[in-house]
Amino acid sequence: MDLTIEGKAYVDGDFQDCCVGVTDGKISAIKKILKGDKHYKFGHKLILPAGIDLHVHFRDPGMTHKEDFSTGSMAAAFGGISCVFDMPNTIPQTTNPQALSDKIDLAKKKSFVDFGIYAGVTNDNIKRIADLGKQCSGFKIYMGSTTNSLQIDTINLKQAFKEIVSTNKPVLIHAEDDACLDGHSIKENNLADHLRSRPSKCEEKAISDVIEATRGINLKVHICHLSSYAGLELLKNRTENISCGATPHHLLFGIEKNTRSQTHYKVNPPIRTSFDREALFDGIRTGLVDIIESDHAPHTLEEKDVEFDDAPSGIPGVETMFPLFLYLAKEGKLPFQRLIHLVCEKPAEILGIPKGKLEVGRDADFIVADIKKACKIKSENLHSKCEWSPFENWPAIFPTHIFIQGEKLIEDQEMLGREGFGRFVGE
């Protein structure tokens, strides 16, 4: 046995005083007492599965002044995330086998954490889906315009789904109907205008079209960054093959209470009302919302601090997602069992990867957290290249250690790992 860790570990839905044994990067035993070549004792600290973020935009290649795989994956690691999945709206867009292969090779050289890469589906590459499926970790479909996005017409949606089925890969959906967005386009001066220009009816329409297009097709579909009560209501009676996620910014912000620069909260889909926020938060408690995903989409402060209508949409969050909700769990706002399901277990299930649980046979990806030591989020302590956070001064609990593949990547909040350590997963 290569190593063992001892402490209060989250196993089989509860915290147990036990040891977790690791052999060749996999969890090989969980028992009351174990000894390995290396043994770590963490006393009263919690040992949890590392998080999985199935929705990041690391801007690499093409927009690396905002972020790249090195800085983005480092931020993920410090936030307790052992595996990230990157979106295809980079430059060039990841819509053909060569661009996909190039991005995978790029990330293999830079990433501190394990990673997957999505292929984008457009009107023009539907017939190439089978080829893309040989390499990608899953597919992304944008039903509405957003940052450097690639779109598909609703009329082509069912055909795209039929092609994706043969790859046995999941498809993730940005659910805002483009025709609906066009019909509400206005010059925007603030967040209220942005909300009016992207009303919840556009999300509702897109979700309805996805549900209709999946009828009779056995396909794993994930609705990204659900933002509205209307969308949540529509998904209440969905089939088991459709999952949905919510972001920290949609779960924790309502436009009524934002006091900082309005452009810092500009994002697609938009921050909505406190009513929507409360409905989504209730959804993560009750199981109506399946996962929490960051939609980490960084822009520089120089890009954000302009007139509202000119500012790009997007919010950073991969480093703060898990720590924010660890604090909320400690405060009793969300059961630890639900949090682990939302950030670890369910994302692993959606993506079909052997992570997300402290269980024999799974990847030895885990974090150590001192639940008694909360701190305030400070941008200068974060690792994203964009150097700001919408969660400035929010309380959070950051992990002290992270192990990936049984290797200690971070110890006492100091990076021990190297660029290129992360493996490509999800093939």
314 token code pair: 């997007």
Which alpha helices (DSSP H) does 261-304 contain, by range? 274-286, 301-304
Query: In this structure, are residues 346 and 355 in contact, taking their beta carbons and an 8 Å threshold?
Result: no
> Which position has the token pair 């290649």?
61
DSSP 327-377: HHHHTTSS-HHHHHIIIIIHHHHHHT-S-SS--TTSB--EEEE-TT--EE-
* Residue 309 appears among annotated catalytic residues: no
β-strand pairing of 14-23 with 407-411: unpaired
- Catalytic residue of the set 295, 310, 370, 412: 295
DSSP 148-180: T--B--GGGHHHHHHHHHTTT--EEEE---HHH
What are the beta bridge partners of residue 392?
none
Query: In this structure, are residues 289 and 316 in contact, taking their beta carbons and an 8 Å threshold?
Result: no
386 token code pair: 């964009």
Q: What is the number of other CB atoms lying within 10 angstroms of the CB of residue 151?
A: 16
Radius of gyration of the chain (CA): 20
Query: In this structure, are residues 113 and 121 in contact, taking their beta carbons and an 8 Å threshold?
Result: no
Q: Is 60 strand, coil or helix?
A: coil
Query: In this structure, are residues 95 and 119 in contact, taking their beta carbons and an 8 Å threshold?
Result: yes
Catalytically active residues, by annotation: 295
